[in-house]
Structure 1
Amino acid sequence: MAPKLGIIAGGGDLPGLVAAACRAQGRPFHILALSGHADPRVIGDEAPQDWVRLGEAGTGFERLRRAGVAEVVMIGPVRRPSILELAPDFRTARFFARVGLKALGDDGLLRAVAAELEGEGFKVVGVDEVLSGCLAIPGPYGNLSPDEQAGADIARGVQVARGLGALDVGQAVVVQQGIVLGIEAVEGTDNLLRRCAPLAREGLGGVLVKMRKPGQDRRIDLPTIGLATLREASAAGLRGIAVEAGGALVLDRDSMAAEADRLGLFVVGVESPQC
């Protein structure tokens, strides 16, 4: 039997999908849900769980040990708080004093958190090791594929996304007819799409491109799209979404393909030289 998995849960549907996969595999698990970030409806009442604030690292480590967790996966978006919002306990304050919060981007901070977990004796694993069926595959999902203009926009988006990622800024960019309408920063992909909607030009719609950052640790923060992303892209007037094949997650690929066809959008996995 696989070791007991600790699911450090941020927002979105991924924590619930990982818990469901553990149940299907007969794998023991325990959820450490982050208050103010994890969705109680996703976590549910039946799953073994503890809730902690983001600043309660000491309590979190103790709860994971008490639950007998050996491996840990970190999933779901977490809005980075200010120090005042964080209200760190002694263990968390010591961590930030050592790594320097202001000096780190999201990827750097997550790497430091992963190293801290491993220093406490937990093995950090990637969500794709648990949800292997969600790893993006090359080619289209559904019946629609990018045309020549969309292909050019995707190529431009890959180029820009890689530049963003190298600076540890974000993983997503919206491009229309060669023009960059928006790049993802702290607001997340859904808010990026909402921000880009009123910026759309006349003519052929744009594309959303999501790529893994160059050199990114595959165990943490892989780019992810789900049905909500697809619907936000449609509402923003986009023609489709491109994600990195082998470097991003596509949640519920069959439903994604069917919804993409219904909305008249393409979803495609593209290869990237950064892999």
Structure 2
Amino acid sequence: MTVQQGKIGLIAGGGDLPARLVDAAKASGRAVFVVALEGHCETPEALGAPYEIVRLGAASKILGQLRAHGCVDVVLAGKVQRPSFASIRPDLRAAKILARIGLKSLGDDGLLRIVGQELERDGFRLIGAHEIMRDLVTPVGVLGAVSPDDQSRADARRGLEIARILGQADVGQGCIVQQGLVLAVEAIEGTDEMIRRSAEYARPGPGGVLVKSSKPQQDQRLDLPAIGVTTVEQAYQAGLSGIALFAGGTMIIDREAVIALADRYGMFLVGLSLPDGYDHDK
């Protein structure tokens, strides 16, 4: 898909990805305006672009700011802790959205889909982070100097199956498997907490495998799971053998640095494709 020219509106959460997207967009000659989500985007002044801090529930203000600054394309990027209804404090526009989808969709893939639909309804073009930074998406194969052994490959495949089932139920995007045993699955706590928790249940012998996958029903422009150097560091501290990612459905932030760190720790990093005969849409 070819990204149009014009200003990019970045709705930014936390982490390193928003700043990298700003740099990549500017390097391609495109201006960026940032809607920094209050309480999630920690240092908007460091992003290197004009910004406005807006709370998550202020839908009218978010859309108004994007429109006022002449944004054509809009991308959502960065970590956003899944909110409760009380913490959103919805304005009238957001309240109408929530009334339409129901509270059961809060924090789920369904809520992200509605956000995308609202942006497009207002005339913006929703794009994925990977459309700005082409090297974000995980390719198939071993990505570093370390290859998984037979046990780790089996754990990775088992983990991918579990992660896809979790995703289909709209629960999470990852799990950790060691020697065929599921040590932890990801829910609202996020990847970092899941990794830390898994260390409490690790068995003797070869370490487990962190597996991340997009949800089968997921809009690829929204909230693709991502790892970075911090993920590798935490996986190493938890005693994991490596990381397996669903190729084409996950992102690696600062790929060269991630691979280098995994190599230094003797951990594998691999992109997995779905096996033949697997239903890609379920």
**Aligned partner letter, 1:132:** R
Structure 1, unaligned stretches of length 5 or more?
A: none
The answer on whether the counterparts of 2:8 and 2:74 sit within 8 Å (CA) in structure 1 is yes
Separation in 1, partners of 2:47, 2:17: 16
Pairwise CA distance, 1:3: 2.0
* Aligned position for 1:228: 230
* Aligned position for 1:216: 218
The answer on whether the counterparts of 1:136 and 1:248 sit within 8 Å (CA) in structure 2 is yes
Separation in 1, partners of 2:47, 2:241: 39
Q: CA separation of 1:245/1:103 partners in 2, compared to 1, >3 Å: closer, same or farther?
A: closer
* Aligned position for 1:29: 32
Q: Pick from 10, 18, 42: which aligns with 1:7?
A: 10
Separation in 1, partners of 2:64, 2:218: 28
Structure 2, unaligned stretches of length 5 or more?
A: none
Separation in 2, partners of 1:87, 1:223: 26
Pairwise CA distance, 1:43: 4.9
**Aligned partner letter, 1:219:** R
**Aligned partner letter, 1:11:** G
Q: Pick from 204, 213, 236: which aligns with 2:206?
A: 204
Pairwise CA distance, 1:113: 0.8
Pairwise CA distance, 1:204: 0.7
Does the residue aligned with 2:18 lie in a helix, a strand or coil? helix
Q: Write the deviation string for residues 194-233 of structure 1: whole angstroms up to 9, x where unpaired.
A: 1111110111100000011112111101110100001010
Higher deviation after alignment, 103-112 or 115-124: 103-112
Q: Write the deviation string for residues 36-75 of structure 1: whole angstroms up to 9, x where unpaired.
A: 00121x6516411111000111111111111000110011
Q: Write the deviation string for residues 101-143 of structure 1: whole angstroms up to 9, x where unpaired.
A: 2245521110011001111111111111011111111112210
Separation in 2, partners of 1:147, 1:225: 22
* Aligned position for 2:258: 256
* Aligned position for 1:57: 59
What is the alpha-carbon root mean square deviation over aligned residues? 1.4
Q: Pick from 69, 91, 94: which aligns with 2:93?
A: 91
Matched, 1:151 2:140: no
TM-score, normalising length from structure 1?
A: 0.96
Q: CA separation of 1:7/1:45 partners in 2, compared to 1, >3 Å: closer, same or farther?
A: closer
Separation in 2, partners of 1:106, 1:76: 16
The answer on whether the counterparts of 1:72 and 1:122 sit within 8 Å (CA) in structure 2 is yes
**Aligned partner letter, 1:215:** Q
Q: Write the deviation string for residues 157-201 of structure 1: whole angstroms up to 9, x where unpaired.
A: 011011101101111000000000000000110110011111101
TM-score, normalising length from structure 2?
A: 0.94
* Aligned position for 1:126: 128
Higher deviation after alignment, 93-102 or 220-229: 93-102
**Aligned partner letter, 1:8:** I
Separation in 2, partners of 1:184, 1:234: 18
* Aligned position for 2:192: 190
Higher deviation after alignment, 75-84 or 53-62: 75-84
Q: How many residues align?
A: 274
Pairwise CA distance, 1:98: 1.3
